[in-house]
Amino acid sequence: MSPPRRGGKGRGRDSRSPPPRGKGDRYSPPRRDRYSPPPRDRKGGGAKGRGRDSRSPPRRGGGDRGGKRDWLGPPRDRRSRSRSRDKEQPKKNLGYDPEYRIPAPTRRKDPPKAENTMELTPEMKQNSFEFEGFYYATIDFTAPQTACGISPVVPKPYDGTRRTDASVVTWHFMPKGWNLVPADVDDSVKEKVMAAFDWGTHLLVMENGRAYVSQGGQARSKPGTLQMIWDIEKGPSGIRLQHLKGSHSYWHGKLFIRTSIQ
């Protein structure tokens, strides 16, 4: 048999039932005791609108506004840490002197001057002509008084396909200390050295291929005058004159060189 119901429409409520949850009377279970912090002391220092709790640690660098230091120690050193670290730590053994500096490079010594290696044998000197501080000679050291033995006159009719004789265009090595006679040589050399002797040829070829007539070519042109520009070829085998064709092939030429008298 169920106990009698009290109040309410349709169903009654037992005295043991919890109060109903309604808009008027809501049920709230009992709360446990919660920790509530003590009220803040707003009389202390700090930012505006915020006080400091009594549990907060004292300030660094003077908790009170009077400027007195607190128990946390002396004020922090505001200097750079790197500077203080360099002073405090001892120097490490680096294995070398940190103050050592690379010395300035010394001036490079000039290479030793080459010794006089001019090639001048008694035979070469005998077949040369000395004039105003130089020895003049042909590249094959033919004596100045040697006649050419070949006529420079072009026959009529002549062979148009003819080429310079092979004895003229042979390779020669330049002797040490000797050079081709410069093209701007003084006129006295042309008159007293080149035009005065046969030199065993018709033309004496100087620098830039300038070919001047010697005494041996007077049958065809005046000695000491410029006759033509004869191409010169240089290579591993030395130096030589190039072939001429037609009427020019009847000319006989030699390279003309000189060296200074030491």
| Over residues 127-148, mean pLDDT | 94
> What residue spans define the domains of the chain?
122-147+157-260
pLDDT of residue 135: 96
Average pLDDT, the chain: 78
What does the block give as tokens for 67? 């400027």
pLDDT of residue 113: 65
Q: How confident is the model at residue 18 (pLDDT cuts 50, 70, 90)?
A: low
Per-residue pLDDT at 235 exceeds 80: yes
| Over residues 18-23, mean pLDDT | 58
pLDDT of residue 240: 95
Whole-model pTM: value is 0.56
pLDDT of residue 54: 61
pLDDT (tens digit per residue) in 81-120? 555 555 555 666 777 777 888 888 777 777 666 555 788 8
